[in-house]
Structure formats: C-alpha cells, structure tokens
Amino acid sequence: GGALAKTIFGDEPTKPDYRNVPAAVFSQPPIGQVGLMEEQAIKEFGDVDVYTANFRPLKATISGLPDRVFMKLIVCAKTSKVLGLHMCGDDAPEIVQGFAIAVKAGLTKADFDSTVGIHPTSAEEFVTM
C-alpha cells in the first residue's frame, strides 16, 4: 500500500518490497512465518544454521492441554543474519508479526540473543535458541 501511495500521490515511483513479507495460516494450530524456508536459504546462501524448539507452552501445561509449539530460526552461517523465522502454535501469527520487523531489518542471531525475552511466553524462545 505504501509503495502504491508514493507512486500515485507522491510522484515517487516505488516498487513494493516483497522480500520478508510475513504470512499466516489461521488454522488450528495457527502457523506464522517470515523470510526464507530452510531449502530456499540453502539455495540462496549455502551454509545455514538452523535452530528449532519443540515444547509444551506454560498455558497448556497449567491447563492440562496437550498443545505444543514448534519454532524454527534459519540463520546465514557466514553473516549470522536471520533469514527465516517460522512458528506453529498458539499466537503464532501475532508473534511472527512482531519478529517480522527484526527479520526485515536484517538483524543477526547475536541481536536476537542479546534481547531479553518476556518470561514466561512462547515468544521468548526465539531469543533463547
């Protein structure tokens, strides 16, 4: 929308940036993702580091539900830039939307690691992997 507005009304021809557009599937459990998938990252960057987490979130544990969360972080081995972030579990679209800014800004794994996570949340897992 911003690129269209700049082009039409601002006399500033602007192409939309389709890279790192977050997406979600509002299924049960919901899925959210931003950036490259592992296969795409390998094809484009070669060596990648992949971090995963598979756990039962606190609210499921307390309530006795069997729900689980799966998270994946894909990082360029050479530059440590976060290339992709994926999540399947409660609140995945909301959590991924927040992290989409970090991925689009080109933050690194070290940037994620130096961020203090809010505890106890599922989102904190992305900064403690």
What is the 8-class DSSP label of residue 115? S
Residues found in the chain:
129
Residues paired with 72 in a beta bridge? 52, 86
Check if the beta carbon of residue 110 is closer than 8 Å to that of residue 119: no
Residues with catalytic function: 119
